Structure 1
Amino acid sequence: MAAIVFSRGVKWLSAAVFGGALLAGCGGPGPATGEVTPPDNSAKPPPPKPDDPIFDPNAPNVKCDASISVSGNSRALIVRDPEVLEAFKLDRVLAQIIARFGAPSAPTGEELLKRLFDTQNTTAGGAFADNLHCDSPENKAFKNAPAVGCPRAEGGLAKSDGLFTPGHADYFYPVALVNRSDLMTKMPVTCGEYRIVYAKWSGRTDPNNRVFLIFEAALQNPSPGNVMGCWPVAKLWSDLQGVSDPAVLTDRLENFYFEGLSGFQPVIDPIHFSLKAPDDEGYGHQSGQIRLSQHMQDPWDMREFRLGLDETGAAAYPMRLMPATVKNNPIPGFFDPSLNLPNGDAFRSQFPYNETLDLAAADLKDIRMRTTNMFNAGESSLEGEAETNYLSIALSSGDTSLLDNIDMFLAQGELGKDCPPDDPLTAEAILNRASVLTCAGCHAPAKFLGPERKIGCGLVWPSTMGEVHIDEKGALSEALTDVFLPRRAEVLQTFVQACDMEAISDNLLPMPPSDLPK
């Protein structure tokens, strides 16, 4: 195996970039009822074949323009203007999802949101008898391991009357629109993700009553497999950095999110939140999701939902916001060889060989983990049994066999051979890198790494604002301003310029291996 060369010295914030981090910076049921089929205008296109070219010679004529520049500190990547955000209230977004779903019977937006929070109640304590709950056997979030936080205090929001009421403690309001065009893959079925971040009003003043709800829509590429089919979307966003008039910004973004650019579905469409998509698709690939980051009780906890169809036939409405596994969040107990967990041996057998090479990357932007879904947990927490502090767990029993196998892989591949002698690339560093790629670790790296946030071979993971990258008042973390956004700007600029096709291709994220078990 060829050696990977690592550069010496600490790559500090402004010198290191990471393109695939979760925002804030992280089931495809099919029509089980036989009665409801989503509208044809939202039908998911077939995926391209792996050998399809990503540059279609018949694509619209896009001319090279090297003069285009994109700043990491601009509206080309994130919009936080209060006047603009007024048009993106949560009730409007949910109403559009429901309307475009097109079912003869559907809940109100308020009930749909309440049902999402009700999934964190037990069946006995639930607000809706026909809803999925955290102890429901058919809850796909916990198909690989039982729920740890069940119930949670956030389940009480299922009975709140203030979710859409401005000024109420439980009011959810928009704090940011986020461009994640950098999440396009080398099989570009989507044009990346386009997000809306909502925060719970109480979190502005109460650190123990904070909840963030993030709608992460994976916009379908109208020319699946042809990356330039996404160019109009990228150009729309890059042009926003030169717009200061709130009315113009609102008009362009409203059209993009609620109406759709010419040839595109609107961002706010059920298909962009995983309707009809399998639950085992990985983060940032072909399906979007809805995520929760929550702290109405300890520990701080993160979860994932996908829009789906009721499979039981017993629900009052066919459409659900269904709990899903949290992608790229391996079950913590799998890292302890002394625990006899289902699939634990299989996980530890494959981890050194399937994950170490990507985790050993020399640059922050290239460090990644692509966990197959059979190993993912249903929650990602900062403490307790769902805490994703993988190194601590691997060391807890004294059985170092997993660490030994990772070290053997590193040695055989000569990975990290040029690292600073006082900061080598070790199995311990690999597990720390895995931790910071989880939802909890990305949002609270100091919790797992300590205040220095070192991850081996001279690399330092960028800092957050405690547990968040975007807070209730729209403030941004150093990780975003100094690392993630500059990298996203670089990717967007290269794409919109349309001058260097090789660089555009290099910036596309890899697809997961097709032969991994689901």
Structure 2
Amino acid sequence: MERIRRILVAGCISYSLCLELALAQGICQPSGSGTALGFNISPSMVVNSDAVLDSKMSDIGGTGPTAGERVFSFRRTISSILKSAGFPDDPPAQERFVQTMLDTFAPANGFALNPSAGMLMPLDGRGGENTKLNAADLLDETSPIGLVPLALFNRFDLAPTDWSHCGEHRIVYGKQNPGFPSRFLLIFEAAVDNPGTGEAGCRPVAEFWAGLSEVATNNRALTERLSAFYYDGKATSYGNTVDLSGPVVDYRNYGGDGVRGQVRGNLFMQEPWQLREWLTQPIFDPATPLAFVTETVKDNPLAELYRDDFVSGPLAAQNFSAVLTTLQGEFVGEVTSKMRTSLMAEDTPKYRGLVEELTKYVLGTTPETEVSEPTILKNTIALGNDKKFNEFQSTSQNNVPPGDTDEPRFHAQTKMRTLLSAMLAQPTPHLQPQDVDAFLNRATAGTCAGCHQTAPGQNIRTQTGLPPVVFPSQHPTGFVHVGEDRTLSDALTFDFLPFRRYVLGRYLCPITGPAAASAAAPGVQTTFAARPFSSTDAQQFSEGIVSAFLSEARSSQRLSAPQGAAANQQQSVLAQATSQLDDGDRAILRRHIHDAIDAARTAEQQIPGAFVEVRRPH
């Protein structure tokens, strides 16, 4: 124990020290047949038990008005996001904040601008969500349509190779009393800042999740640890005393601080079924200073780009033909180069490393724990396309006429198929020539709609002498991987979660030193030197931009010096901007924030993953 204490005090600064610590803690258990992992899928990769998710605040010592609410209630999450920005979090403020999301389902004309593409892309009006849901009821877990927590997920596997953050840590909410069409799920996908530096800096986060297996049968202790992690940033585990830089549930971690995280929704209140994405960003409106801002859906290129008639199709009436021609030309080039490599990943260095080290770990022999090469394939299929190709909605209803669904194989026509056939004809060291549909099925699986609905059961590889590999199944209720009854899909149970445990085990129990970093795409910065403020500065990304703007406004005498320094210090800089700027300056500041975040996210999404070449976001 004294050796563990000294390592913890000194910091886990080398692989030998990290491994020694992991061995002493029981995380890594070497044997003659390989290294076994001393943590389980539940609760170290997923928590979906009623005992934890239905626990009340009073069960862990909470008192006051919220004592009777669930520990991970939707209201608590919304309140925490508002508080993290320094804005009021009373019930009316919570309702106004949630209403900003519902308002996005009533766009002005059915289109929205993707500024990276210079193109208007579809954004359907959805009266089902806009009129059948209301903020007050969604926040009220006693309401028939109130949102309740369905699962917590550890996505440490999404850490980037520059270790600027430690992956994503998610909370899934679902509407009560689901039916068809009456389902609504939200996923809060927080990407937490690295509390230290480099690869070792994220170790407290990894150890926190592994350490949950210590208390797997103690529901109160498990709930307390998770509550402290998500809402207080406490990562205490195995004697570790290094915590996060702030709570997991923080507006910054859902897209408000430049590069990290998002909120996604699975929408079923009307047909067609869709997935969408938002960021929590300051908009400085006195009534709703923080809002859910619509974002393009990551790794979801506009499906019509696969069509031969893209330039003369339905989108032509809304856009310049030159823009459409240029965008499709760039997309075709990306399909045959960057996307080809990321979708057919069997020859990439990190894929080979995952395969070659499988025999060095004892992961288990049950279907819920074992990992094989096909398992790795199902987890590493990814598009990794440039953000300018992404649309604002991912439609996954595959029983509608071709042209409405977003399946690439429905849209790809003669020219695209001919091009892909020529591209796929040559074998590679680890992959025989594949047919066009297998490639397009992989492209489908890399999208939100595909992973959730249209890719399951589709062939993604055929190799002579081996059984074909098909993409795994979604939840029996369709379109989700976590049901409203908290049960999990086959894809999660037998493929995704075992793989994520293997990845976490390789990090905590390394067989070798750190793997060589993959090269970033040409021209992509991997250290975010362009960010005006690093995440370790006293001023965070958005707050830094706002502080500079306020300072400039005061120096130009557009803004009076604050009255009463003490009173001003009690306000966050975001609150100061909301209360002190006029409408014109607030609009300018909104645009500054939006553009800075967009540029930072565009760069971040091109950085390779720490464990895989391309981080598939779903």
Letter of the 1:405 partner, please give it.
L
Cα displacement string for residues 365-416 of structure 1 (whole angstroms, at most 9, x for unaligned residues): 3322101110001000124656221011113xxxx2222222222235x248
Question: What letter matches 1:195 in structure 2?
Answer: R
Residues of 2 paired with 1:351 and 1:162: CA distance?
44
1:267 corresponding residue in structure 2? 248
Query: Which residue does the alignment assign to 2:445?
Result: 436
Q: Deviations over 1:473-512 (max 9, x none)?
A: 110111011000100111112222245334xx47x89866
- Pick the aligned partner of 1:210 from 175, 179, 183: 183
1:240 is aligned to: 212
Q: Please tell me the residue identity of whatever aligns with 2:437.
A: E
CA contact (8 A) 1:141 1:323 kept: no
Indicate which of 411, 415, 424 corresponds to 1:410.
424
Give the aligned residue type for 2:269: M
Q: 1:294 to 1:151 in 2, by over 3 A?
A: closer
SS at match of 2:192: strand
Q: How does 1:86-125 map to 2 (within 5 A)?
A: 86-103=70-87, 108-123=93-108
Higher helix content, 1 or 2: 2
Aligned partner of 2:331 in structure 1 is 347
CA distance in 1, matches of 2:87, 2:199: 33
CA positional deviation for 1:469 = 0.7
User: Which residue pairs with 1:165 in the alignment?
Assistant: 140
> By how many angstroms is 1:137 displaced?
5.7
Q: Which moved more, 1:343-352 or 1:314-323?
A: 314-323
SS state at 1:108 partner: helix
Any idea what the Cα deviations from partners look like across 1:16-43, whole Å, max 9, x if unmatched?
xxxxxxxxxxxxxxxxxxxxxxxxxxxx
Cα distance in structure 2, aligned partners of 1:489 and 1:352: 32
User: Residues 175, 70 of structure 1: CA spacing in aligned structure 2 closer, same or farther, 3 A cutoff?
Assistant: farther
Report the AA paired with residue 403 of structure 1: R
Counterpart Cα distance in 1 of 2:192 and 2:494: 27
How many equivalent residue pairs?
Answer: 425
Unmatched 5+ stretches in structure 2:
1-11, 30-35, 54-69, 235-241, 317-323, 347-376, 463-467, 526-598, 603-618
How big is the shift at 1:259?
Answer: 0.9
SS at match of 1:111: helix
SS at match of 1:455: strand
**Pair 1:485-2:497 in alignment:** yes
Mapped to 1, the partners of 2:289 and 2:196 lie a distance apart of: 30
Q: TM-score, normalised by structure 1?
A: 0.75
Q: 1:152 and 1:141, CA in 2 relative to 1: closer, same or farther beyond 3 A?
A: farther
Over the residues paired in the alignment, what is the CA RMSD in angstroms? Answer: 3.0
Work out whether residues 73 and 485 of structure 1, in 8 Å CA contact, stay in contact via their aligned partners in 2: yes
Distance change >3 Å, CA 256–CA 418, structure 1 → 2: closer
The structural deviation recorded for 1:144 is: 4.1
For residues 315 and 136 of structure 1, the distance between their equivalents in structure 2, rounded to whole angstroms, comes to: 27
- Shift of the 427–154 alpha-carbon distance from structure 1 to 2, 3 Å rule, reads same
After superposition, the Cα gap between the structure-2 partners of 1:468 and 1:182, relative to the gap in structure 1 and judged at 3 Å, is: same
Instruction: Return the match for 1:185 from 157, 160, 170.
Output: 160
**1:305 positional shift:** 0.4
Percentage of identical aligned residues: 28
Q: 2:380 aligns with which of 366, 374, 379?
A: 366
- Does the CA-based 8 Å contact 2:97-2:288 persist in structure 1? no
Give the TM-score taking structure 2 as reference length.
Answer: 0.63
Distance in 2 (CA, whole Å) between partners of 1:411 and 1:394 is 18
CA 376–479 in structure 1, closer or farther in 2 if over 3 Å, else same: same
Q: What residue is the counterpart of 2:473 in the other structure?
A: 463
- For the structure 1 residues 165 and 490, does the alpha-carbon distance in structure 2 shift closer, same or farther, using more than 3 Å as the test? same
Amino acid in structure 2 at the alignment position of 1:348: V
Any conservation in 2 of the 1:144–1:375 contact (CA below 8 Å)?
no
Residue aligned with 1:88, SS = coil
The corresponding residue for 2:194 is: 221
Do residues 74 (structure 1) and 79 (structure 2) align? no
Q: Which residue of 2 aligns with 1:6?
A: none
Distance 1:406 1:254, change over 3 A: same
Task: Provide the C-alpha distance between the structure 2 equivalents of 1:72 and 1:511, rounded to a whole number of angstroms.
Answer: 33
* Corresponding residue for residue 175 of structure 2: 200
SS at match of 1:74: helix
Q: Is the 8 A contact 2:39 2:211 kept in 1?
A: no
Q: For the residues of structure 2 that align with 1:77 and 1:104, how far apart are their CA atoms?
A: 33
Q: 1:369 to 1:326 in 2, by over 3 A?
A: same
Distance 2:306 2:156 in 1: 33
* Greater CA drift, 297-306 or 235-244: 235-244
Alignment match, 2:340: 356
Q: Aligned pair in 2 of structure 1 residues 136, 435: CA closer, same or farther (>3 Å)?
A: closer
User: Hey, what's the Cα distance between the residues in 2 that align with 1:496 and 1:172?
Assistant: 35
Give the letter for the 2:212 counterpart: L
Change (3 A) 1:258 1:160: closer
C-alpha contact (below 8 Å) 1:360/1:416 kept by paired residues: no
CA contact (8 A) 1:332 1:386 kept: no
Question: Deviation of residue 514 (structure 1)?
Answer: 4.2
**Which whole-Å CA distance do the structure 1 matches of 2:123 and 2:297 have between them?**
14
Tell me whether 1:328 sits opposite 2:299 in the alignment.
yes
**What is the alpha-carbon distance in structure 2 between the residues aligned to residue 509 and residue 442 of structure 1?**
25
Would you say 1:293 and 2:266 are equivalent positions?
A: yes
Provide closer, same or farther for how the CA distance between residues 60 and 324 of structure 1 changes in structure 2, counting only shifts above 3 A: farther
Cα drift, residue 214 of structure 1: 0.5
Question: 2:364 — aligned with what?
Answer: none
Distance 1:410 1:368 in 2: 17
Distance 2:112 2:123 in 1: 14
Q: Which moved more, 1:373-382 or 1:348-357?
A: 348-357
Contact 2:73–2:141 (CA under 8 A) maintained in structure 1: no
Distance change >3 Å, CA 483–CA 121, structure 1 → 2: same
Matches of 2:181 and 2:132, distance apart in 1: 15
Where in structure 1 are there 5+ consecutive unaligned residues? 1-54, 124-133, 278-285
